[in-house]
Structure 1
Amino acid sequence: MSSIARLSALGAYVPERILTNTDLEKMVDTNDEWIVQRTGIRERRISAEEEFTSHLCIRAVEDLARSYEGTLEDVELILVATTTPDYPFPSVACRVQDHFGLKQAGAVDLNATCAGFTYGLHLANGLISSGLHRKVLVIAGETLTKVTDYTDRSTCILFGDGAGAALVEADPADPGFLAATLGSDGSGGRHVYRAGMAAALDGTVLEGNGKIVQNGREVYKWAVRTVPDGISRLLQAGGLSLHELDWFVPHSANLKMIDSITEKTGIPAERTLTSAEYYGNTSAASIPLSLKLARQEGKLKRGDHLVLFGFGAGLTYAGLLLKWGIDN
Structure 2
Amino acid sequence: MTIRAVVRGVGHYLPERIIPNSWFESRIDTSDEWIRTRSGIERRHFAAEGETTSQMATAAARAALADAGMKPDDIDTVIVATTTPDLTFPSTATMVQAALGMTGGFAFDVQAVCAGFVYALTNANALIVSGQASRVLVIGAETFSRILDMEDRATCVLFGDGAGALVLEAAEGAGTSADRGILASDLNSDGTMRDMLYVDGGVSSTGTAGVVKMQGNALFRQAVEKLAQTADAALKKAGLGHDDLDWIVPHQANIRIIAGTAKKLGVPMDKVVVTVQDHGNTSAASIPLALSVGKQRGQIREGDLIVTEAIGGGLAWGAVVLRW
What is aligned with 1:61? 61
What is aligned with 1:93? 93
Q: Whole-Å Cα distance in 2 between the matches of residues 275 and 175 of structure 1?
A: 25
Displacement of 1:185 after TM fit?
Answer: 0.9
Does the 8 Å contact 1:3/1:177 carry over to 2? no
What is aligned with 1:223? 223
Residue 308 (str. 1) matches residue 317 (str. 2):
no
Q: Which residue of 161, 186, 191 corresponds with 2:191?
A: 186
Does the 8 Å contact 1:79/1:120 carry over to 2? yes
2:199 maps to amino acid: R
What is aligned with 2:38? 38
2:7 maps to amino acid: L
What is aligned with 1:196? 201
Q: 1:271 to 1:90 in 2, by over 3 A?
A: same
Does the 8 Å contact 2:142/2:161 carry over to 1? yes
2:188 maps to amino acid: G
What is aligned with 1:10? 10
Q: Whole-Å Cα distance in 2 between the matches of residues 266 and 247 of structure 1?
A: 12
Does the 8 Å contact 1:9/1:67 carry over to 2? yes
1:54 maps to amino acid: S
CA distances 1:275-324 after superposition (whole Å, capped 9, x unpaired): 21011000000011111111111111111000011211110112011000
Q: Whole-Å Cα distance in 1 between the matches of residues 144 and 209 of structure 2?
A: 14
Question: What TM-score comes out, normalization by structure 1 length?
Answer: 0.93
Q: 1:56 to 1:126 in 2, by over 3 A?
A: same
Structure 2 residue ranges without an equivalent (≥5): 174-178
Q: Whole-Å Cα distance in 1 between the matches of residues 128 and 312 of structure 2?
A: 26
What is aligned with 1:154? 154
Q: Whole-Å Cα distance in 2 between the matches of residues 197 and 313 of structure 1?
A: 14
After superposition, where does 1:187-266 map in structure 2 within 5 Å? Answer: 187-197=192-202, 210-266=210-266
Q: 1:172 to 1:2 in 2, by over 3 A?
A: closer
Question: What TM-score comes out, normalization by structure 2 length?
Answer: 0.94
1:92 maps to amino acid: T
**Count of aligned residue pairs for this structure pair:** 318
Displacement of 1:209 after TM fit?
Answer: 7.1
Q: Whole-Å Cα distance in 2 between the matches of residues 217 and 2 of structure 1?
A: 43
Q: Whole-Å Cα distance in 2 between the matches of residues 170 and 197 of structure 1?
A: 37
Displacement of 1:72 after TM fit?
Answer: 2.7
Displacement of 1:210 after TM fit?
Answer: 0.3
Q: Whole-Å Cα distance in 2 between the matches of residues 306 and 18 of structure 1?
A: 29
CA distances 1:195-241 after superposition (whole Å, capped 9, x unpaired): 224898xxxxx9x9701111111111111111111222222222223
Structure 1 residue ranges without an equivalent (≥5): 201-205
Q: Whole-Å Cα distance in 1 between the matches of residues 4 and 279 of structure 2?
A: 33
SS in 1 for 2:172: coil
SS in 2 for 1:149: coil
Q: Whole-Å Cα distance in 1 between the matches of residues 27 and 219 of structure 2?
A: 25
Displacement of 1:175 after TM fit?
Answer: 4.3
- The CA RMSD measured in Å over matched residues stands at 1.8
CA distances 1:158-204 after superposition (whole Å, capped 9, x unpaired): 0000001111111114541111111111101111111224898xxxx
Q: Percent identity?
A: 40
Displacement of 1:244 after TM fit?
Answer: 1.4
Does the 8 Å contact 2:303/2:323 carry over to 1? yes
Displacement of 1:3 after TM fit?
Answer: 4.5
Displacement of 1:66 after TM fit?
Answer: 2.5
What is aligned with 2:176? none
